[in-house]
Amino acid sequence: MRKDQLSTIRKILSSKLTLLLGIIILGLIAVSFIKSWNRSREVNQEVKGLEQKIQTLQKDNLELSELIKYLNSTAYIEEKARTDLGLKKEGEKTVIIPELNIDNLNSNLDSKNQLEQKSDLIPNPKKWWHYFFSKK
C-alpha cells in the first residue's frame, strides 16, 4: 500500500494540472508582491514630497519671523516716520530734489535725432571739411 500511495503522490505531483496550479499560485504571489512594492514606492515618494514641503514651509516661517522682528524694531518705525510722515531728527535739514521734466528731455532728444539725421544727409568729405576748416 505504501507503493500505491507513493505512486499516487508522484502522479499528482508530476501531472500538468499540478504544474498549472503552481504557476497560478506563483503568479498571484508575484502580483501581490508587485502591488505592495508599487504602494511602498508611492508612499516613499509622498513622504519625500511632504518632507520638501516641510522644509519650504520652515524656510518661509523663518523669513516671516525675521520680517516680523524687523517690522517691530525701532529702526523700521523710524524709517517709516521719516519717509511717510516727513519727520526728521534735531539738527537735520530736509532737501527736496525736484523730479526731471520728461517732456523737456524728450524734446531735446528729438532735436538731437533731427540733427543727426541732417548730418547723415551730408556727404562724408563735406563733414570732414567742416570739421577742419569751419570756425565754430
pLDDT reading at 119 higher than 70: no
Higher pLDDT, 46 or 78: 46
- One-letter amino acid of 55: Q
Report the predicted TM-score, pTM, of the whole model to 2 decimal places.
Answer: 0.45
The rounded percent of the chain whose pLDDT value lies above 90 is 38
Q: Where are the domains of the chain?
A: 103-136
Provide the pLDDT for residue 54: 98
- Cell numbers of 67, please? 520680517
CB 76 within 8 A of CB 70: yes
Provide the pLDDT for residue 44: 97
CB 103 within 8 A of CB 111: no
